[in-house]
Structure 1
Amino acid sequence: MKSQIKNQLSKALKIRSKSAIIQALRQAAKFMYFTGDKDLAKKLISFALDFSDQSNQYFLILADYHYFQTGEKINSNLEGLDIPLPSIEEPWEELAKFIDEL
């Protein structure tokens, strides 16, 4: 399981495509969440938040993040949610290190 995720993330990281990274991270996070590794799912989706810079991507990732944290689907009322903002820097090196440690 983790080796497949590691391979998928490594490929996306090699081409340095943010959309490929985000897609791979979201898919991996969903897979890990539904197979029971919720901590890894939360870590993966947190990385996706750091790479998102388009509003539609950010909302989709935010919806995943909220679901992984609370088990509740997000609704249109975002008031009162602890919403992490995307980081200014893209954590390419930090993600590469994380992938190596999988």
Structure 2
Amino acid sequence: MNHPVKLQQQVKAASHAFSIILETHFAAWKPTIGECVVPRLGLQGYGVYECADILQIRVDIAELHQSKVFLKVGVSRWSDLLRFFIDQLHSDAPTPFVWS
């Protein structure tokens, strides 16, 4: 098999697995709509100010959504949230983690 094609298939499979993990955890955390959208943008590398601009909301509202999600997950910054999902991807944990 051609290496670029194989790599493309592997990236697509990893992306799909990451999406499943993301959806599973978000469903378990029962976030509000804002609590879903802001972290998805944050995981893509956008900061709170950029999230607020993209979503056309006030920065303090974006910060509130961010902090509520961080509290639910038990992290304090975007990189920790990303690391959490990557760790889930590397483990075979089929059930979502819910911070208590």
Q: TM-score, normalised by structure 2?
A: 0.31
The structure with the larger Rg is 2
More helix by share: 2
